Amino acid sequence: MPTITAGGTPQTITLPEGQVLNVSGTAGAVGVVYRLDPALGGTNSLQSWAVGAGAHPAIGPYAGQQRFLVTCVTGSIDISTADAVLGAIRATLPAGNISAGGSFLPAYPSGNGAGSENRTFSAAISAWGDFNAYQLIYANRSSAPCRINDARVGVGATIYPNGANNIAAPATWLAPTGEEVIPAGADHRPRFYVAPRRQARSVPRAAGERDGGLYPLLFVRQYIAPGNTTESYSALSADWTAKWAKSSEGHTLQTASAYGGDYVTNANDWDAATGEDAPALVFVGVIFHYDRPFTTVCGVGDSVWAGNLDGGTDICPFGFIATARIRRTGKFVSWHSAGVGGASMPDIVANGLDIIRLIAPGILVLASYTINSPVDTQGAWDAQWTGLMELVQAQLAGNRQVLLVTPLPNNSLSATQNGYRKLQRQRVLASGLPFVDVESLADANGHWLNPGHAVDDTHMSVLGHQAVAALTQPRLDSMVP
């Protein structure tokens, strides 16, 4: 691909569907990339990106071929194209399939120490509708490849046998997937691996189930073959299920996981170069493939986006409640929770970019700030806004939608910090992007107007999540086909 030099003729680049445009400037480089309007032609642009020194975030992928005009004022700019993860995923869709939705699981811990080590994992994952195929997603944080000896999946109709709170495994399992190797992480960031698409029709579930039988289940287990076929699933306490029923309004089932007799081996549990105390291999989740149009709504943020109950259990955020209510009206839509407790804005951006690449959500619901990043100066809020706009740009580049949420109240904010929070709200309102305005839940100090909406300075109660869901649902519903 070409290199554009200062003062040279601007060059037009054609980007095939499913690929991304990589742009990198030399030291002191100044230039612009324009995405050309196919309808108007000429140099009329739909979007533009300023280019400086270093690598620019990848542009794309898009649905359909795109054309870009690249100019350079000083220095030089290198241009190249590459396949996107999205392109690889879309290439595996079965004939006639229209959409795929993701359902992610939290990371699970591995043992300490170097060398090969066996671990166990099994899970029951609830989909938001009947599926015809699935793909497993893994992440490798280590500097060496990780090996999964084997994995099996099954589909089942029952999750609470005989009304008990434990998870029931299916009576039969599908054929094993065989060994798969997850590439080593890059620059100490996870390297994601999307397994090949595998056919598996969902099984109708009994109407007497706790969710009315609306949500099919996929069971996953990983083990060393042969000889180890034991699996176990979590026992859910009556207290836990009571909290779930209180907050979920009966809409769906929560994913449940446990350590059973299923083994995963990993050649290098810990990254010796960094000493990071993070699991090297993580089972991230599943991409479900459906036969009809499907909208995945994904919430990217901190622990507030993950959701919490009065007891601190991370389930049922406001976005889930709003989406599930829309699902009950007959629209084929799901909520994918990508909230991470304690995440700073750089963490949120990195996580969000991974989500966009992996499952390409139809609607991305974004936090306009997080209390986990500095909020004491205008510069700090500017930095948060810059990170937010990076995510917005990446989502819009794929012709997908964004929904911003104005800054939530927080009881820890000082008068100065609240002033910055209000300015951030004005940015959202003036952005030209769809938004949910939650300012009615804040008092004059930027604290929670209703004390019953919060369990501490930051985190919402069940009532708080329901209040934000009530504000979110109408705007979100208008965006879901």
- Of 101, 86, 98, 99, nearest in space to 286 by CA: 101
- The dihedrals phi and psi of 334, each to the nearest 5 degrees, come to -135, 160
What integer pLDDT is reported at residue 204 of this predicted model? 74
Burial of 175 (0-12, 13-18, 19+ CB in 10 A): exposed
Q: Which residue has the higher pLDDT, 65 or 275?
A: 65
Mean pLDDT (the chain) is: 74
What integer pLDDT is reported at residue 399 of this predicted model? 83
> Residue 282 above 80 pLDDT?
no
pTM: 0.69
Q: What is the pLDDT of residues 228-268, one digit of tens each?
A: 444 444 444 455 455 555 555 554 444 443 333 333 333 33
Q: What is the pLDDT of residues 44-98, one digit of tens each?
A: 777 888 888 887 777 876 666 888 999 999 999 999 887 654 434 334 444 434 4
> Residue 107 above 60 pLDDT?
no
> Residue 388 above 90 pLDDT?
yes
Half-sphere exposure of residue 332, counting CA atoms within 13 Å on the CB side? Answer: 15
Q: What is the pLDDT of residues 166-194, one digit of tens each?
A: 455 666 667 666 667 777 765 555 677 77
Q: What is the mean pLDDT of residues 366-394?
A: 93
Q: What is the pLDDT of residues 390-401, one digit of tens each?
A: 999 999 988 889
> Which residue blocks in 249-344 are alpha helix, DSSP H?
303-306, 318-328
What integer pLDDT is reported at residue 83 of this predicted model? 62
What integer pLDDT is reported at residue 172 of this predicted model? 65
What integer pLDDT is reported at residue 427 of this predicted model? 94
